[in-house]
Structure 1
Amino acid sequence: MTYDLSHHLYFIYSRNITKPVVMTHLAKWFNQIELTDIDSFQILRRTFENHYQNIINFFDNRSTNAAAESFHAKVKDFRRQFRGIKMIGHSVLFGHPFRFYPDTF
Structure 2
Amino acid sequence: ILFRLFPKLKEAYWLINDLRAIFRTKSSTKETAKKALEGWYKKVTKSTLREIKSVKQSIQHYEDEILNYFINRDTNASAESLNSKMKAFRSCLKGIRDIPFFFYRCVTVFG
With the shorter chain as reference, the TM-score category is 0.7 to 0.9
Equivalent residue pairs, number: 91
Computing the radius of gyration from Cα coordinates, the structure with the larger value is 1
| TM-score relative to the length of structure 2 | 0.76
Task: Tell me which of the two structures has the higher relative contact order, counting C-alpha pairs closer than 8 angstroms and 6 or more residues apart.
Answer: 2
In the alignment, does 2:37 pair up with 1:26? yes
1:14 is displaced (CA, Å) by: 0.9
Q: Give the gaps of 5 or more residues in structure 1.
A: 89-97, 101-105
Distance (Å, rounded) in 2 between the aligned partners of 1:75 and 1:19: 33
Distance (Å, rounded) in 1 between the aligned partners of 2:15 and 2:79: 30
Cα RMSD, aligned residues only:
1.4
Q: Give the gaps of 5 or more residues in structure 2.
A: 1-10, 103-111
Distance (Å, rounded) in 2 between the aligned partners of 1:53 and 1:87: 47
2:90 corresponding residue in structure 1: 79
Q: Give 1 or 2: higher strand fraction.
A: 1
Task: Say which SS state the counterpart of residue 86 (structure 1) adopts.
Answer: coil
Distance (Å, rounded) in 2 between the aligned partners of 1:52 and 1:34: 17
Distance (Å, rounded) in 2 between the aligned partners of 1:99 and 1:58: 43
